[in-house]
Amino acid sequence: DAGVIQSPRHEVTEMGQEVTLRCKPISGHNSLFWYRQTMMRGLELLIYFNNNVPIDDSGMPEDRFSAKMPNASFSTLKIQPSEPRDSAVYFCASRTAENTEAFFGQGTRLTVV
Amino acid sequence: ILNVEQSPQSLHVQEGDSTNFTCSFPSSNFYALHWYRWETAKSPEALFVMTLNGDEKKKGRISATLNTKEGYSYLYIKGSQPEDSATYLCAFLKDSNYQLIWGAGTKLIIKP
C-alpha cells in the first residue's frame, strides 16, 4: 500500500478563494482524521470520521470549513472562503478500529495570501 | 475533558547522553497509549502502541514504559544521536473507536 495520500502537497491561494484538500486513506482503514499543524497550537484535530460518518467535528474552526467522506477511500476538506489565518499544514491520518497506530499523509502546506 | 500532558516542552541533550520524558493521561477508561516521532518537515510516525499496565516496548535505542494505574508513560532514548532530534508526541485512547487525544509534544534537540 502507498500509505495515506494527500493532494496537493502545496497550495497557494488568494484570500476569498475556495480551497479543497484531498485525502486517500490506507485501504481497509475505517477511521480518518483531519489535523491542522500551526506554530501556536501544534497538532490540532479538525474532524474525525469512523466508517465514513463524521463522529467529532468540534475542532472545525468555523462554518468556512467543511469535510466530507463520500466513501471509504476518499475524503475532502474544503475551506470557503479562505483567509490568511488558515495558512498551515493540513494532515490526514487513518487507522483501523482495532488498536493500531495512526498513519499520516505527507500533509498539504496551504498558504493564503 | 480528557487531557494529555507532556513534559518537558523542549529538551536539549548532548550527543551520547541518555534522556527521558513523560506523558501523563487520564488513568480511568484507559484503552491505549501511542508514541509518535515527528521530524521537522515530515509527518508523524508511530513508535509504539501500548495497551497493558507495565508494558515495556523497545525499538533500537528507544524504549517506553506504561503505568495505566497512575496515568503516565515514559519514553527513554539511550545514547542520543543527532538523528533523534524531533518532536515526540503521545496520544491517548479511551476506547478503540475513540479519537486520539494528543499531547503537545516534547521537542528534543540533540547537540553534537
- Angstroms from B59 CA to nearest CA on chain A: 15
Cell numbers placing A39: 506554530
pLDDT of residue B54: 94
What DSSP designation does B52 have? S
- Angstroms from A26 CA to nearest CA on chain B: 15
Interface test mutation site (partner A, options B2, B43, B68, max chain A beta carbons within 10 A): B43
pLDDT band at A10, cuts 50/70/90? very high
For the cut 70, the answer to whether the pLDDT of residue B62 exceeds it is: yes
Q: Give chain B positions within 8 Å (CB) of A2.
A: none
pLDDT of residue A38: 79
For the cut 70, the answer to whether the pLDDT of residue A73 exceeds it is: yes
Do the beta carbons of residue A79 and residue A12 sit within 8 Å?
Answer: no
Burial of A74 (0-12, 13-18, 19+ CB in 10 A): middle
| Pairwise CB contact (< 8 Å): A100 & B49 | yes
For the cut 70, the answer to whether the pLDDT of residue A45 exceeds it is: yes
Q: Which residues lie closer than 8 Å to B19 by C-beta, 6 or more apart? A: B11, B13, B76, B77, B80, B108
> Average pLDDT in the A1-28 region?
95
How far is the C-alpha of A102 from the C-alpha of B34, rounded, in Å? 9
How far is the C-alpha of B9 from the C-alpha of A35, rounded, in Å? 20
